[in-house]
Amino acid sequence: MSRAMTRPMTPGIPPAPWQTGLPPVLAPTTRLVVLGSFPGVASLQAQQYYAHPRNQFWPLLGALWGLDMAALPYAQRLQVAQERGLGLWDIYARCRRQGSLDQAIEDADLNDLPALLRLAPGLQAVAHNGAESARARRQLSALGLAVHRLPSTSPAHASWSFARKCEAWRLVLAQHGLV
């Protein structure tokens, strides 16, 4: 794993314990992968992407696809996403962090991002879910993929309305045939 350019650990404060992220949700037919930064506490505890009840990821997809994604069991949400050509992963494989905020990520290791092309040979593009994920734009552009930066679905990113986020996400998903 390559070391990411994240904030260094704070001198004099013991480092947070290492946390390991979730495995990728990809298929050979994945056309667009949404890359988050690193799962929050609720997601790590549940071992599910976007598990925090106030995260807008699943409701946003539901609004775009005309389904109540948040009401579906997690395995079924993943199945629907994969059937539509959407994959999920994070840019960081592991890091040290207290809490769930991206600003608290320290000493992070990047996931094997070039593996995206092996795991999803039909991949056309990457969509970063938020600013921290978008820090890996350069590495992903080098793979020859289209790269998009989308507004974060995190409850911490409340400056955009749900409708405004939906429109930004709809434009990118439509560009790759997912809506």
Torsion of CA 110, 178, 27, 141, to 10 degrees: -30
- CA-angle at 27, arms to 49 and 6, nearest 5°: 45
Helix (H) or strand (E) holding 169: helix 162-175
Task: Say how far apart CA 136 and CA 101 lie, in whole Å.
Answer: 18
Check: CB of residue 31 under 8 Å from CB of residue 176.
yes
Torsion of CA 106, 149, 56, 166, to 10 degrees: 170
Q: Which amino acid is at 60?
A: L
Task: Say how far apart CA 6 and CA 123 lie, in whole Å.
Answer: 27
Q: What's the chain's length in residues?
A: 179
Annotated catalytic residue within 43, 55, 100, 133? 55
Catalytic site includes residue 55:
yes
Which residues are marked as active site?
55
